[in-house]
Amino acid sequence: MEHGGIEQTVALFAAIFVISSLCQWFAWRVKLPAIIFLLLTGIVAGPVLQLVSPDEIMGDLLFPFVSLSVAVILFEGSLTLKYREICGMQKVLRNMLTIGLCVTWAITTLATRWALGFDWELCFLFGAVSVVTGPTVIAPMLRTVRPKASIANILRWEGIVIDPIGASLAVLVYEFIIAGGGNDAIGSTIQTFGLIVLIGFAIGASGGYLFGIALRRHIIPEYLHNLSALALVFGTFALSNLLQAESGLVTVTVLGMWLANMPRVDMEGILDFKESLSVLLISLLFIILASRLDLVEFTQLGWPALLIFLAIQFLARPLNIMISACGSSLTWPERHLLAWIAPRGIVAAAVAALFALKLEQAGIAGASSLVSLTFLVIIGTVLLQSATARPIALWLGVAEPEPRGILFVGANRVARAIAKSLQEHDFRVLLADAGWENISKSRMEDLPTYFGSPISDHADRHLDLGGIGHMFALSRRQEHNVNVVLHYRIDLGAKKVFALQIQAEDQIAEKWKVAEKNRGQILFGGHITYAALEDILDLGGQIKTTSLSDSFNYEQWQQQQQQRQSIALFAIDRKGVLHVFGPEQQFTPQADWQLISLVPAGTDKVIIPLS
């Protein structure tokens, strides 16, 4: 390749990386799945503007890259599957992955045959490809919809586990087509199915067990954990596929689930790395695969293809859920939302592209239409469900409340006083403490509590964080505050976890200071300590609320700072959003805001100190 060609290719790849990052950021801002903008980018860059041609750029490496990327994505997703999260709903999930899958497959196959008149072989293959949902679209949709935990867990498990099942089903149909049908083809298909299951489970389980033992016994140094995990995914995936084609997806899914549920194996660091890598790979894959779309073929499908989408959305999925949830404890509103959410993602696109290419090489007529039809279903399900799932969840009453609540770690005197004041402003509060005396006092004040360590396995299973958006670490022990900050920053985000200082910032020697990355946001200010707040309360101080107005604004409060010693805690804006005072928080209270402050005894008015 000439020097100019190399530079153009490098610039093209760099542009894809940059644009994919911008798509992810914009999707985060508008609270929609990034797949919408990634698909649009790929279609514009590929068939519309002819700027990107993955087959020319990557050549024979295109599908190996796609396959390895899908393996990493499925492994990362399966690492999040904890058996305890699906407790009580195993029957529903099992039915969805067996009976429900067959229902979806059958209805999609019949609808494709009726609407487009494809050969039965292609109809069955498209039906198999269309049963998969996938973590690439389920996860961002769940973050936006925020359904009840029972619904979210079922959708996450289905989206991850059904991917290798659907891909394996597509393999079986493909094998049947290539074998030419008949009894011999049925025997070959059954043998292929047995090998996929046997090899996938054997290599996945053994690889997970051995790697878990290596991590547990510290045979692998921590700085090599991520590299070793990635090598393990690639190695087991490739080995499985060498022994039996397309068994690799089963292997990496079993591998991830084994490690996720293996006792005394910490996978948090590896999971963080894999999440970042998966976001990158998902972004690249959607742009690359969408850029291969044939717009002429896509438009030629016409209105009959839309009927297939409608059959999948309004017939196959509802019937799947109604049968699968029969006899379960799921309420009818929960079943209705499950019946609505089933977006198709990257695995469907990748599998369709792979088998369309194989069938074209085998001389099967109409195989190329599989890709266009699959993308139509992907685009249709993602657009429709992304736009409507949250309103439907709210209407059905199965959505979690807005994350306005606060988790207090520590139920001591200071925490109870602050929690009580926020509770009076209709914020949900939850106090967690391992000391029974503090818990009993909190309950006497009608404050919701959790008795136990907030970073225990029991808390992970039973601590209800529905509607919780902030965490305040108010323990008297600095090291405990650090631990809970590190624990909850993963779930709530670094900007939503706060810790109260035990000593004033300017009084701590440099070698004893907690690193900024570990301490969380400083609560109320570096000079405000637990002891200072407790002393004010012990001397009769009270937490009071003052409303700002045009006649008494924030600047006038600041002018009174020189005369009184009140401590500003929070500001609540016109929309009811809570703002926390502290050195890292940048906001200016406006008229019609409410200010919550700790007022020393004998002080008539509340003031806010300069931060």
Block means of pLDDT (10 residues each) for the chain, 611 residues, are: 66 86 85 81 88 81 85 83 76 91 94 90 89 79 81 87 84 76 68 87 93 90 88 93 86 89 79 77 85 83 90 94 90 93 84 80 76 88 87 88 83 90 88 88 89 78 76 83 80 82 64 62 78 85 83 73 71 85 78 84 51 38
Q: Give the Cα separation of 605 and 486 in Å (integer).
A: 37
The Cα 435–Cα 452 span in angstroms is 8
| Residue 372: strand pairing partners | none
Q: Which residues pair with 533 in a beta bridge?
A: none
DSSP symbols for 29-43: HHTS-THHHHHHHHH
Within 8 A by CB and 6+ apart from 105, the residues are 124, 127, 128, 130, 131, 169
User: What does the alpha-carbon distance between residue 324 and residue 334 come to, in Å, rounded to a whole number?
Assistant: 13
Yes or no: say if 52 and 230 are a contact pair by the CB < 8 Å rule. no
Nearest to 546 by CA among 523, 564, 572: 572
CA distance 150 to 155: 9
- Exposure string over 353-363, b if 16+ CB within 10 A, otherwise e: bbbbbebeeee
Helix (H) and strand (E) counts in the chain:
26, 10
Q: What is the pLDDT of residue 213?
A: 92
Q: How far apart are CA 463 and CA 261, in angstroms?
A: 19
- Of the candidates 23, 281, 254, the residue with the CA atom closest to the CA atom of residue 160: 254
Ordered domains of the chain (ranges, CATH): 3-396 (1.20.1530.20), 405-599 (3.40.50.720)
pLDDT (0 to 100) of residue 113: 92
Matching residue, tokens 């950021």: 25
Residue 6 pLDDT: 76
pLDDT of residue 319: 95
With DSSP H G I counted as helix, E B as strand and the rest as coil, what are the percentages for the chain, rounded to 5? Answer: 65, 10, 25
Half-sphere exposure of 106 (CA within 13 A, CB side): 8
Residue 287 identity:
I
The letter for the amino acid at 330 is L
Spatial separation of the C-alpha atoms in residues 132 and 397, rounded to whole Å: 27
Q: What is the pLDDT of residue 511?
A: 56
Closest CA relative to residue 58, chosen from 43, 73, 72, 69: 69
Give the pLDDT of residue 318: 95
CA distances from 179 to 121, 231, 472, 521 (A): 12, 35, 63, 63
Backbone φ and ψ for 600, nearest 5 degrees, come out as -60, 155
Residue 342 φ then ψ, to 5°: -165, 60
What are the structure tokens assigned to 283, written together?
């972004």
pTM comes to 0.75
- What's the CA dihedral at 532, 537, 540, 542 to 10 degrees? 110
CB–CB of 157/44 below 8 Å?
no
The residues with which 468 forms a beta bridge, in sequence order, are 405
Determine the pLDDT at residue 180: 64
Query: What length does the chain have?
Result: 611
Amino acid letter at 163? D
Q: How far apart are the first and last CA of the chain?
A: 60
Tokens 């469900």: give the residue: 385
Alpha carbon distance 167, 176 (integer Å): 14
Provide the token pair at 218: 């510290």
Q: Tokens 């542009």 — which residue?
A: 15
Q: What's the confidence (pLDDT) of residue 198?
A: 92
Token representation of residue 545 = 């609320």
Query: Two tokens at 611?
Result: 């931060």
| Amino acid in the structure at residue 440 | S
